Amino acid sequence: MSKQAFSLNEINNENNNYEQEQQLAFKQVDSQKDGNIATATTQNNNNINNNNKIENTNVTNNKTNANEEEEEENEEENLINNNFPVLSKNQVEQLNNLQKQLLFENCIKNMLTLIGEDINREGLLQTPTRVFKSYNKLCAGMKVNDPKEVLNEALFSSDNSQMVVVRDIEIYSLCEHHLLPVIGRAHVAYIPNGKVVGLSKIPRMVEMYARRLQIQERLTEQIAQAIIDTIQPEGVGVVIEARHMCMEMRGVEKSSPTTITSSLKGQFLKKETRKEFFDIINRTPNRL
């Protein structure tokens, strides 16, 4: 029995030793794992820091490049502005007619050269002069800014209180955004209040506001307001139908779209008067 007990004790001791060895081995493995994790974490942190440094360096370089490009553009712009200064309105007003013409023609020559043309070829020799003369006509309305200069000289007393309509007045203007033609018709009506205006003066006033750089909305309102201020009628109605070459020749390039604008004041805000006006201007014209 004692021998058997001794053997069992040896077995138990061996088991205990084995368990202790296993626990020690496990601790060593865990310690190694922790070390590997710590090492990996440190490496990841180092990689992140390095990446952040690279990104910051790239951002700094991009900003530096952008600033350098902006400085170069500003230098080029200043160089052009110094060599080709833009005149103010006051400076232009101090020039005589010949100086204005020469300056205008030189601008046209520069424009033709910039788009790749040869200003010395036969077909373009007189183009700057022709353009100068055509713009004098196209923008002639800018020389008269007071509608009273057009309308006051032809005001007459009258007891007529019925609507007066002048329709289908041809309009030729220039879009102020692209300097391209605006072509259309204006219909103008008013209800007299003791005064009537010579019929030819209404188309003249329409032309005064059309022959300049314009937008159709403003043109419509200017015509209506000029009649209100000058003739002081019971009411005014103005409708403009126009085609804009800035939509047809460029941009959306749609064929023949028509823009319609209207300005109604006084009695023309009433439904019956408005209907009468629109019925008249939409009626098929009789041949005279």
* Number of Cβ atoms within 10 Å of the Cβ of 171: 22
Average of per-residue pLDDT across 278-282: 95
Q: How far apart are CA 100 and CA 93, in angstroms?
A: 9
Residues catalogued as catalytic: 175-178, 216, 244, 246
Higher model confidence: residue 173 or residue 33?
173
Rg (CA), the chain: 43
Strand ranges (E), 109-229: 155-157, 164-175, 181-191, 195-197, 213-214
* pTM for the whole structure: 0.72
Categorize the per-residue pLDDT at 3 as very low, low, confident or very high, splitting at 50, 70 and 90. very low
Q: How many CB atoms are located within 10 Å of the residue 61 CB?
A: 10
Q: Alpha-carbon distance 249 to 177, whole Å? A: 14
Assess whether pLDDT exceeds 90 at residue 126.
yes
Mean pLDDT of the chain: 84
- Residue 228 clears pLDDT 80, i.e. is over it: yes
Residue 142, phi then psi, degrees to nearest 5: -70, -15
pLDDT the model gives residue 254: 78
**Predicted local distance difference test score (pLDDT) of residue 2:** 44
Tally of CB atoms within 10 A around 173: 26
Tell me the C-alpha to C-alpha distance, in Å, between residue 44 and each of 37, 40, 41, 157, 282. Answer: 10, 6, 5, 96, 79
Residue 166: phi and psi, rounded to 5, are -120, 115
Q: What integer is the mean pLDDT of 248-272? A: 91
Asked if residue 40 has pLDDT above 60, the reply is no
Nearest to 178 by CA among 248, 88, 131: 248
Is the predicted pLDDT of residue 80 greater than 50, yes or no?
yes
Count, residues in the chain: 288
Per residue in 136-155, pLDDT tens? 999 999 988 888 888 877 89
Written as one letter, the residue type at 272 is E
